[in-house]
Structures are given as C-alpha cells and as structure tokens.
Structure 1
C-alpha cells in the first residue's frame, strides 16, 4: 500500500536504538527512522543475506515491508523473526498475523492473534478476536454482494482514492515520473509524489481517459484525497506541510501532512488555506464530508488518538470556521490504523482499518450511527470488496449503487489500483434492539411514575436499574438480540412483578408493558372478586364438576378474603360457552357452582354467606351463540366463574 496514509503510521512506535554490528546497520537504521523505507529495505536485506540476523534487524525489515503495504514480504521476514525464538514485543504478533492473512495462512494468523491477546490482554484488537473467533464466518456471510473489476484507468504506479464532483471522479496518482509535471521520488515508496487526476463518468458508466486535475494547486510534494461540496465550489484535500513556498517540519525534521481548503473561482482553484486544527507536530489527512456538509471527518494522530491513526470529526460552522475536533470513539478507532473515511447520503461511515478483524491488511468496514449520534457496531463489508491485501478508499453513489475502491490485491496493474464495483445486495446490518415499555395500574390502566424497573440477564445478574418517568415510561436502551432477559417492576403499595422476555433477532424496539396489582385492593358491593384477583376461569375436567388442584389455588384466594371480612357474602355464578345443548350447559354450570360452594364451606366459610347458581350459556359476553363460528379463545371468554359481593 504505497500511499501517504502510511506517512504518519509509525510515528516512531518502533524502537530506534542503534545496533552497532556494522556501519550498514547504522545506515539502515537512519533511513528507517527517517521513513525512507525503500532505501532501508535494500540495506537491511543485504545485511540479512550476509547472516546479520537479529531481532532488531528482522523487526525493522519486516516493518519496512509492512508499512509499505507489501505484506507477503513482511510475512517472510516476520517469520524469520519468530524463528529466532527470542522475546519480541506483543505488537509483532499482531503484525505477523496480519501479514500471514495476506498469504492465505489464516490458521497460523489466528494462532498469532491468540498469542497476541495472551501477551497484551488489554488491547481491544485481541479482545475482539477472543470474543469472535468465528470472525471469518461472519465476514463470509457479508461476502458476495459486490461485482468488482479494474477501473481501466490505472498506471504501473500507485493510483488510489476517489471522490465525486459533478460528473467526474477525482483520484490520486504517482504516475508523473517524467515531463514538465514530474515530481521528486519519495524515499518512502520509491515512487513520485502524488498529483490529482480526473475522469468523466459517462452515461453508460464508462470512464474517460484520466487528465490532470487542479494543476494550479500542485506543489513538488503530495496532493491527495480530495472531497468536494455538492455545489463543486469548495474542495478539502491532503497535502504535505507545504504552502506558499514554505515547508513545515516537526521536531524530528519530518514534513507531515495537513488538510487544506480551496475554492473554485473562474474555473481555477484558489485561496488555498490550511485548516486551523493542523499542526507541524502531527498529521491531518483524508477529509470527508457529512451529507449536510456541516461535519468534516478526517484522519490524524493528533493528541487524543487511540492508535497509530484515528478518525476524527469537526463541526463546520455557518461562517466557515470550525469547532473543536472530536475523536469518533473506540467503537471505530483501535490501537491500529483507521483511515480513509467516507460518509454516504444515508450517514453510513465507511472506513479502512487494520485494527478490526478482517481478511488481511487494511479491510473496509462500515458503521451506522445510533439515534444519539454514537457508533455502536462495526461490520466488515466482506469479499470481494475486501481481499487478503490492502483495501481502502471506498466510495459509493447510494442511488446507483455504483462506486470505486482501491486495493493492492493480486492481479493489479500498479502498486495500488482503483476498482469499480456494483453493490448488488445491500448489507444486512447487525440486529439492533431497544427494550422499553410502560408501567401501569392493572385495574385502572393509569401510568405509574417513579416505579423502579430492573433489568436482569438470564442468570439474574443485575444489568441496569432505572425509574419510570411521569408517564410511566421506561427505556433500557440497546439490548442484545436473541437473548433472554428478566424485567422487574416495583412500587410502594403495589405487588412487585417480574416477567421474562426474549429479544427478537430483527432490528426494532421490544415493547414490554408491565401492569402492577395494588397490594391492598378496595372492593365494594357488586364487585367481582374474580376480576380483583385476575381469576378468569375455575377449571374443571370435561363434563365434571369436582374441584381440581389448580382450581383450588384460585378459590383459596376468595376464601382468605372472606375470612378477612367475616360479614362479606358472595354469590357464585358459573357460566359455560354455547357448545353442547342449552339444557346440558345449564345443568353442568349449576353443578359446578354448587361444587365450588361446597369446597368453600369445607374450607371454613359459613354456608349462610354463600349463594350460587349456574347460568349455562344464557349470559354470553360475545357473539358466540349456537351456530356462530368462533375461535377457541372467543369461546373461552364465555367460560368463566364470578364471585359477586352481595353484602359486606
């Protein structure tokens, strides 16, 4: 991956100590520390070929290839590093794993990832592998959605990155090796510094021949990765720290990257100004705009970065000034490299990363922001968009589903090539579910404010406790799909209620209402104690009238109330549905009413306090009379027992 994303990738993360076996090693170290990787590779390989193989030499030789995107060669030298059987930093287990993926050795790569986690248990990259060892199967499920082919505009050098403006696609190329527009060769990549080119996207989807773009902003350093406002009049782009003929350097005398803004006037790009959050001390690169053009996304290793490079965002104010940059957070950014952001019209954030679980090198990922604007989950977009090598700079027209990406995969023409694609099948985003509901009075239906609602997992571990609002509402926020939870609601003067819920595996909101019974329920003459206690039916066996054990549980509630209120008198009323004959149902219901009274008397209730009668099918609650087709549930509404208070 010969591109300027890597120019701030290391930032001296690796050791810079001098190994003094020979002058050649010192020379190679100097070239390495100055990011002159092409020169360093040549020197280190000569040293290694002569038998000078140490941890330091092999680490830096592997790194020189790794950070230059030649992961197959990095795998070779990292392999020799581990063959020394000496202690190495944990990070090299991760780099070796990434390099092994590029040559298709996923089994050994996963072994290295497991060891990386053992060596550095706090690193989120190792945790991600531990929590999803089947990540290759997950990626496979997202694969096969794209048709992809070489764009036909590539050179034998690096061609990468793309942006839409009008009917054109603008990209970056290192093809200027001769002629009036030729640039100096960059020692990092061994190629020329980059310029912008543009092609016209024809009606049939074909591309015109590339032509130089925005020559007026060209310098002898890198210009790259532009993004344009929808009116085409403003461009943000990446350039080395060089403007108005002046070159800026950091404390190590390195010229880093900055983002600049230019405006189009009379067909020329003018007024090139650097953005206020740039610095000589860190790099800022690869701008992207939100759909409303009020937010600028970019990549940097500025203070607050979680890894080698992170994605940030900053507000663009109405007057063209900027707010304070903010890291988009640890869901997106890892200790590795996150780079090349792109935001669709649907506000999806696409980006490249070697820190999330992928197929090798940089993979392309996507994340949708939640309602609160934060990112919750990241998804690998799968093959063939991703490959074992570096894949990045994703760009899509969400209307046509056509776009571009860059890769250094096998079969390419240059160091990096631009590919066109069609997204044939939309990505199925991971299930996202919210758990919410309302707590009410079971009798009146009134919402209950200030109720305590607790969420438990399937093992009854407390996950969250909240209080209902003035309208009785509660909301636990996001919960896991396909998972069982228990929810408990408590409020003084009400009985505590706990119920289970299984969250579905499709995105949405699970609404779980909770109706609470009052601890003390007021009753008066004419009330039905069956409704007070939620007794819908006293169950009897078919054509029988003896009291079953399950019916006795509900009847015991009535008995206890009558014992608490010794002056209370009850009329027991038994009803059937319309099936069977009218005469049969009346006799059966009457026997059941009398059987119920007999059981209650046996439990100590004075016979003078009880009356009862069977009403058969004479007091149906719905349409289900003789000859009317009804469901079993409708018939069951009519099979009921009532315990009416006739005096207190």
Structure 2
C-alpha cells in the first residue's frame, strides 16, 4: 500500500510538472508571437514572468536579452546574454557574442568586451566587424586622442518621450522627429516596439549662435500621419524635403510578406508654406526598409540606409544619383569600408562632403557610435573614424548633423541624464577631428657596441623611391620621431661622423594611431676613417651583408635593399666615389646561361642604385661574371648544400676611384 501511495504521488507530481511546463510553453508561444511582430515590451513581460517561475532555456535567454537589446536598453540585456553564454558556451551563435560584447561596453567593461570579441573573431573568421576590431585593438587609445573636440549642451526642447533625427532647413530652423504627440497633448497610437507614441515631425527656430532652440511646432502640411515620420533632409532652396515614414501611401498601410510594416522614403514639395505632392521614392519596397535620407550640397546625390537584398548587415548605407529631371539612378551600396554585418545608419553629408553616420559594426564605446569618413573621390570614402567623446558614449549616439560654417551641430542619444527615451543635444566643435590614418615611428640612436646613446645624429626619412621626406637631428638623449602615413613603405636612415650609416626599411599597416619603436644602432667605422683605394670592395669596408639573389632570379630582394641603401648613402656622402658592380652566380646550370644571368643581376643592381638613389649613372659601371669567380669549392659536379651555393650568388661593389 505504501508503495502504491508513493507511486501515485510521483505520478501526480509528474502530471503537475507536465502541466506547468505545458502552461509555460503556451505562454512562450504568445510571447514569441509578440516578439516576431516587434512588440518587444509585451513579449518581455511574458518572458520575465516565465523566467521568474524558474523556467530556463537558451531560447528564453535569447529573446529576453534581444527584447532589451533591440530597444537600446543594453545594460538590462547583459545578465540575460550572460546566462545564455555561460550555460551554453559551445553552442551559442556568434551573433550573440557580438551583442553581448556591445552590452558589456554599456556598463564600462571594455576588457571583458574585448575578450568576447576575440572569441567572436575566432568563430567568424571573415566578419567585417571582427576584422575592424582586430585591426584596431588600441581603439580606446585612439578614441581618447579623438575626444574633446566638441562642447555639448542640453536642450530645453526635449520631451519625456523620444526626440531625435535633427536636420537643418534653409529658414534657420532645426527640424526633428518627436513622439511627444500633437499640440493638444493627445498622443497618437502607442507603438508596440517600445510603447512610445508614434513620431511626428517638428520644427524649432535656432535662436542663438550657441544652438539654443525656440519652442517647437509641428510641421504643417500632409507630412505627419498617424504613423511614424522621421529623419528629414532639405534641398538647398528649401523647396523639397525627403523624409522617412512607415509604409503608408495614399492612406493605405503596406506590409511585407510576414505582415511587418517597414520604412519607406518620400519626397514632398513646399507650396503656400505647406508640404504637399508627397510621393514615394521609386526604389522603395514592401519587403525591405529604406530610410534616413541625406543630400549632398549640390542636391545630386541622395544617401540613405536600407536592408535591401545586397545589404551586408542589419542596415547598410547606400547612395543614388538624382537626375536633372528629378528621376533617380540605381542605388549603390557604399561597400566594405563603410558597411559591416552590423548596423550602419543615419547618414549625414556635410557641405564639405564628409560622411557622418552611426554604426555598431565599427569599433566604438558601445551601442551606436558616430563616425566620420572623408570623401576620397567622386564615389568612395576613406575608412571611418570614431568622432570620440563627448559625442559618443556607452549608449546609442546617432543622427549627427553639423553646420561647418558656424561649427554648431546637433545629435541624439539615449545616454543617462536626458529627459526622455532619446534626447537631442547641441554642440560646438572646438577642434579638428583626426580623419586620416596616421602612425608614428620613434626610437633612440645608440652605439652598436657600447649601447650608449648618440645625440645629434642626422636621421633621414625617405620614401621607397629614396626621395627624402624629412631630415632631423636626434636630441640630447638620442631620441628621434617621425609622423607616418598608414600602409606605406619608408626607409629610415641614420648618419653620424665616425660611424657607418645604417638604414632600415619600415612598412606601416592600417592600425590607427599605431606607434612603431625603432632603435637604430651605429657601428664605428665607415669610409671617413679609411683610405679607399681602387680595387677595394665597399661591401667589406662598410661591413655590409652580402647582396644575395634567389636561385635563377635577378630581382633585388628586400634584405638586399637594406644593404644597397648603405651603398647609396656612401655614394651620396662622397661625390667623387665611383664603383664597379660585379655580379656572380653559383655553378649550377650551364656556363653561358650563368653568364647571362649574372649580367641581368648586375644590371638590376646598377638600376636600383641609379633610380632609387638618384645617383648619376656615370659613377657606376658593372657586368656579370657568371660562375667564373666562385668563393668556395662548389664547382660543377661538386656536391654542395643550398647555403654553400648561396654564397656564390652575390654582387660586389669595387671602388674604381
């Protein structure tokens, strides 16, 4: 009997647990329905209730974290991404690692965020966001260098709701989007995404040179509807506006195949002080969003954000030509320099042609950061540069606009300390941004034997064509430094009386603000203290490494370039010096072939000295000697190692005057 009771109790408990699980699963189905139609707040309420009952699953953690992440509540997402990753470390999709890293930045845990990004890089391999991170591991140092270029001010026009997407019109006004509702205080329909009222467009007079704004008024005309309107841009004459709206045309609401209402761009014309003749842009679609327009000063190019078919990430930035008759060309993706697998959005083109945009795919402080890219030609921009603090923060920072004449601008952020969900801030630019990839080389000149510093040493920076770029003297502590461009070949040469000159070839990469440390060691000697007689080999007098060639090749190897630069330095230092270049081969291959090969080697050596060193060709003679002057036993049919044969593939530099 006791056994039966025990069995009945276990069975009853099993039924209770089963019913509880079934109940939770039914509730999760409802939450997932809300989540899939972007009703994140409603979905989250159910997820949290289920989690409080002790229910756990990877899917629950994902949805809970994402419901915060996609509403820009990054701090609140941290514990749920943490649960997901800690409980399923080997099964987590890499995208959740990226989101987790972004959220960790929002609470200032940059070291931990970087560790997560390293794992993200290991899993993805070729993800653009991972590559940008790995190439800018010192991004916090760069952001600090970039920071402090703007003074920020809070604005009284912000509401307790969401205010963002500022733009300038030609009337001295700032136009922006706000969910504050209409002037009667009655808000429009609440949006399920974040339980905020839908957005309308407002304008506010710019009152003072420091960017203070007058109380805003809703824009007149048929632009504002009961759905979202946001992110405007105006033509130079103020007669045309491009703006973003939900898919709502001619009082008909459109959706994609899944029933989701996306974003479209529209164009309107100003008539009798009201916006009318509203039309969709032809490259809109029900199946993807097109949003956030930006115009060039001449009005010939329109930039925007979209997730259309060829987009790389959640949203990419595109450009389209506007023809003289108002029609449009074919939208073009801005490519991998600008777009990543993340979000690139809210473009703005300044009057000078700079592209400002918001991104979470490029490396920043957390959430969306503002970046700037400089126009390199008619169709391309430079790599983007983070504009630094205080524009950027640990939260979302976006919709940056700047009047380059007054240096006054505006942007939006959901950072702490604002009035509402998103607030607009004004700023004054007080410093120039770093907008080119720069690197530095610093070092000390020392004696190769004693290791003592050598002050007042002449240090020369040259390009790879041996053109002098800059010449300085090391200071009393033997220190020197040069500013460099990224991804460029340089030669750094040091010369000092009573010492042999030394040269080092330096190639920079694309890491922003990287510092190369290069100590240059000088050895006593050189031609100054030696009597150079005809027949002397400069390579021996200067104690150069032998100029070697690869098997069956005549091109100048990189290691040979370093030594040839020393020959060039000696020829420049002693204008009366003339040399004869003698090139040799090993014994392999036939005698006639080796003679021709050595002549090619002599020719390429002479050509390098003349072209790279800008040395008069009358000072250099030379020819090839084939295998006639071997330096060891490695004659025909004599077994030798590769290193022994290498000793014979060489060039000599014999003084003839």
CA distance in 2: counterparts of 1:426 and 1:377, whole angstroms: 17
Matched residue of 1:60: which SS?
helix
**Which one of 372, 391, 399 corresponds to residue 405 of structure 2?**
399
Which deviates more from structure 2 when the two are superposed, residues 265-274 or residues 212-221? 212-221
2:77 to 57, 74, 77: 74
Q: Which of 173, 178, 181 matches 1:176?
A: 181
Rounded to whole Å, the distance in 1 between the matches of 2:96 and 2:35 is 17
Structure 1 residues 551 and 418: alpha-carbon distance in aligned structure 2, compared to 1, 3 A threshold: closer
Structure 2 counterpart of 1:422: 428
TM superposition shift of 1:20? 8.3
The unaligned stretches of length 5 or more in structure 1 are: 1-17, 434-454, 458-477, 487-498, 507-538, 555-592, 597-639, 644-648
Instruction: Provide the rounded CA distance (Å) in 2 between the counterparts of 1:180 and 1:266.
Output: 27
Distance change (3 Å), C-alpha of 1:500 and 1:112: closer
In the alignment, the residues of structure 1 paired with residue 287 and residue 532 of structure 2 have an alpha-carbon distance, to the nearest angstrom, of 90
CA positional deviation for 1:81: 1.5
SS at match of 1:365: strand
**CA contact 1:389–1:407 (8 Å) conserved in 2:** yes
1:120 deviates by 1.1
Indicate whether 1:101 and 2:105 are aligned: yes
Q: Is the 8 A contact 2:201 2:219 kept in 1?
A: yes
Aligned residue in 2 for 1:549: 536
How far, CA to CA, are the matches of 1:377 and 1:224 in structure 2? 28
- 2:44 is aligned to 41
Give the CA deviation at 1:350: 0.4
What does residue range 193-204 of structure 1 map to in structure 2 within 5 Å?
193-204=198-209
CA distance in 2, matches of 1:102, 1:45: 22
- 1:84–1:318 Cα change, 3 Å: same
Alignment of 1:258 onto 2:261: no
Partner of 2:146: 142
CA distance in 2, matches of 1:641, 1:501: 25
| Change beyond 3 A, Cα 1:44–1:502 | same
The Cα offsets for residues 373-407 of structure 1, whole Å up to 9 and x where unpaired, read as 31231100001110000000000000111100100
Partner of 2:456: none
Asked whether the 8 Å contact 1:348–1:368 carries over to 2, the reply is yes
Q: Is the 8 A contact 2:183 2:218 kept in 1?
A: no
Give deviations 1:132-152, integer Å, cap 9, x for gaps.
Answer: 211111111111111112122
Match of 1:129 among 128, 133, 148: 133
Is it true that 1:159 corresponds to 2:163 in the alignment?
Answer: yes
Question: Given that residues 58 and 88 in structure 2 are in contact (C-alpha distance below 8 angstroms), is that contact kept between their aligned partners in structure 1?
Answer: no
- Cα gap change, 1:550/1:158 in structure 2, threshold over 3 Å: closer, same or farther? same
Give the conservation status (yes or no) of the 8 Å contact 2:24–2:50.
no
Q: How far, CA to CA, are the matches of 1:397 and 1:217 in structure 2?
A: 25
Q: Which residue of 1 aligns with 2:124?
A: 120
Q: Which residue of 2 aligns with 1:322?
A: 328
Judge conservation of contact 1:432–1:481 (CA < 8 Å) in 2: no
Cα distance 1:553–1:40, how it changes in 2: closer, same or farther (>3 A)? closer
Aligned partner of 2:381 among 369, 375, 399: 375
Between the aligned partners of 2:144 and 2:22, the Cα distance in structure 1 is 44
**Where does 1:247-396 land on structure 2 (aligned, <5 Å)?**
247-371=253-377, 373-396=379-402
Give the match for residue 240 of structure 1: 246
Distance 2:195 2:273 in 1: 34
Residues 479/176 of structure 1: CA separation in 2 closer, same or farther (3 Å cut): same
Counterpart contact for 2:464–2:489, Cα < 8 Å: no
Distance 1:72 1:210 in 2: 32
CA distance 1:431–1:360, shift in 2 (3 Å): closer
Name the SS for the 1:549 alignment partner.
Answer: coil
1:210 equivalenced with 2:197 (yes/no): no
Distance in structure 2 (CA, Å) of the matches to 1:278 and 1:82: 38
TM-score, length of structure 2 as denominator length: 0.65
| 146 and 541 in structure 1: CA distance in 2 versus 1, 3 angstrom threshold | closer
The equivalent of 2:545 in structure 1 is none
Counterparts of 1:552 and 1:132 in 2: how far apart (Å)? 42
Is contact 1:177-1:192 (8 Å) kept?
Answer: no
**What is the CA–CA distance in structure 1 between the aligned matches of 2:305 and 2:319, rounded to whole Å?**
9
Distance change >3 Å, CA 71–CA 179, structure 1 → 2: same
Alpha-carbon deviation of 1:547?
Answer: 5.8
Counterpart position of 1:7: none
Question: Which residue in the other structure is 1:186 paired with?
Answer: 191
CA displacement at 1:77 relative to structure 2: 1.4
TM-score, with normalisation over the residues of structure 1?
A: 0.66
CA distance in 2, matches of 1:143, 1:203: 25
Distance 1:481 1:99 in 2: 33
Indicate if the aligned counterparts of 1:125 and 1:334 stay in contact, CA closer than 8 A: yes
Question: Cα 1:213–1:177, aligned 2, differ >3 Å: closer, same or farther?
Answer: closer
Give the Å deviation of 1:483.
Answer: 3.9
Shift of the alpha carbon at 1:280?
0.7
Q: What is the correspondence of 1:417-496 to structure 2 with a 5 Å cutoff? A: 417-431=423-437, 480=486, 483-484=489-490
Q: Deviations over 1:166-199 (max 9, x none)?
A: 2000011011178476310000010100001111
Is the aligned partner of 1:52 residue 2:55? Answer: yes
Give 1:84 shift. Answer: 1.6
- The DSSP-based 3-state class of the residue aligned with 2:222 is helix
Tell whether the 8 Å contact from 1:196 to 1:214 is kept in structure 2 after alignment. no
Q: Give 2:225's match in structure 1, choosing from 198, 212, 219.
A: 219
User: What RMSD over aligned residues (CA atoms) do the two structures have, in Å?
Assistant: 3.4
Match of 1:3 in 2: none
CA distance in 1, matches of 2:464, 2:44: 57
State how far apart, in whole Å, the 2-side matches of 1:42 and 1:77 are. 14
> 2 CA distance for matches of 1:127 and 1:485?
28
Deviation per residue, 1:202-237 (Å, 9 max, x gap):
144321111111353221100111100011110000
Distance apart, 1:158 and its partner CA: 0.5
Q: Distance in 1 between matches of 2:97 and 2:199?
A: 33
